[in-house]
Amino acid sequence: MTAKICIISGSTLGGAEYVAEHLNDVLQQQGFITQLIHGAHLDEIPHREVWLIVTSTHGAGDLPDNLQPLFKQIAAQDPDLSALRFAVVGLGNSDYDTFCYAADKVENALREKSAVQICPSLKIDILQVDDPEQYAEHWLPNFTAQLS
């Protein structure tokens, strides 16, 4: 059975949204069933099988405004996410000492609820990577290989 992948993006300026949309297209071309949600709330996510979270880091290492409600709900509702497998793509600027902290926060919050991280996160430095969408696509087999 093909895994259903929920791609959740958190973005302030749109970069993470573009990466999420590109990965959604690539995964669909590969035959995966996906749902793309920009800035999800917990009750808007129909299944908790596989999440691919694409997030930028905002401010002093914070989650983008449109991703904060989801993680506040996860903290408040304390759901059992032990059946959830996930991966994270983070975008950030290495000029800041909070580089990709949002990706770290996502990992920690989900692991605290017993979710299983299925591969190392991809951290994209926008100062070093000219095409984040293509860069993320090259990383994607690390994620998809764990879904079979």
Mean pLDDT of the chain: 92
pLDDT digits (tens, 9 = 90+) for 89-134: 999 999 999 999 999 999 999 999 999 999 999 999 999 999 999 9
The pLDDT of 59-71, averaged and rounded, is 92
Please tell me the predicted confidence (pLDDT) of residue 146.
93
The pLDDT of 51-65, averaged and rounded, is 92
Q: What residues are paired with 116 via a beta bridge?
A: 85
Residue 12 — pLDDT band, cuts 50, 70, 90?
confident
Which residues, 6 or more positions from 48, have their beta carbon under 8 angstroms from its beta carbon? 6, 79, 81, 83, 84
Closest CA to 36 of 69, 8, 78: 8
Lowest mean pLDDT among 27-36, 40-49, 123-132: 40-49
Contact status, residue 23 vs residue 140, Cβ threshold 8 Å: yes
Q: How far apart are CA 102 and CA 26, in angstroms?
A: 24
Q: How far apart are CA 118 and CA 144, in angstroms?
A: 9
Residue type, 17: E
Closest CA to 47 of 90, 105, 88, 8: 8
C-alpha angle 112/115/116, rounded to 5°? Answer: 120
Structural tokens at position 46: 């129909």
Closest CA to 103 of 54, 46, 31, 41: 54
